[in-house]
Amino acid sequence: MHDRYEPSGLAQTADKFLTRSVQLRTKSMAPTDPAQPADSTVPTSPPPCWTPVRNEIKAWMHRNAPSLAELYEGAVTLLYTNPIPGHVRFISHAVREIRNRLPDAIAGPTKTTVLQYKNRLDTIAALPSVDALIANIGGTTAPATTSITIDRQLADKIAALLQDHLNTRAKPIDAARRLFQSIAPDNTRAHDTLTPILQQWITTTDWFVAKAHDSGHTDNHYPNNELCHHFTMFENAISAATRPFFDTLEDLDAILENTNN
């Protein structure tokens, strides 16, 4: 039996703010004329899982990133309507792709330098000291603590390649900030206050990223309430970001102050 899932303090803080913003969003979506009859031309009702908030997320994503909207729609269906075998990994793949691709879809691709690994490694492999380094390693039987002497020129080339590799890798927090600020440009003035929400976005999506590949665990290994909690946090962040909810940053300040006290 799984232990009851309890989110961390930071998660609870972000959860309160994101849930509040979604509640405000839902309230604003209420029909202006409740007495108006429903459209009789609609043949069937949508599945219960497609709440007004989820329908708005889906519509917003279809307008801005149609291919990712399909992944979101599939994830909702797998989680709430048709949890086929392997659904945890399928849902996790969808969330990972949305996290990785949505910043470029909304904010535009960044101008990053493509690191030519093959050419750089060919240059390193051509150095005369490479053969000596390989020989000094001693094969796979060498103890892990063995010290190895390396030529300075070879060491400089390897270090430079590693540094360029680190520099060209996009940092998730930077991509998240670019996404949220592009959705609502006014958020550029809320750099520090926005950080807890961005960190929670990373923490939530990291949970799915870690489960996107097969690890030998079946779906039953993951408590359903934990899966639903993280997916709801993921949805809340997207839903909140698509409205000017950061205009109510005073609410976040109050929540943070209450949590710290």
Per-residue model confidence (pLDDT) at position 148: 74
Give pLDDT, residue 196: 77
Burial class (CB in 10 A: 0-12, 13-18, 19+), 80: middle
Q: What is the mean pLDDT of each run of 10 residues along the chain (261 residues)?
A: 57 59 51 44 69 94 96 97 96 96 87 77 88 71 65 88 75 83 66 75 94 95 95 89 55 49 52
Q: Give the CB-side neighbour count of residue 180, counting CA atoms within 13 A.
A: 29
149, with CB counted inside 10 A (0-12, 13-18, 19+), is: exposed
Amino acid occupying residue 86? G
Largest CA distance in the chain: 84
Phi, psi of 149 (to 5 degrees): -85, 135
Q: How many residues does the chain have?
A: 261
Nearest-CA neighbor of 252 among 18, 6, 47, 11? 18
What DSSP string describes 71-96?
HHHHHHHHHHT---TTHHHHHHHHHH
How far is the C-alpha of 4 from the C-alpha of 30, rounded, in Å? 34
CA distance 90 to 212: 7
CA–CA dist 108, 101 (Å, integer): 10
Question: Which of 20, 25, 26, 8 is closest to 255 using CA atoms?
Answer: 20
Here the tokens at position 65 are 């990133």
Question: Helix (H, G, I), strand (E, B), or coil: what is residue 120?
Answer: helix
- Which pLDDT does position 180 carry in this prediction? 83
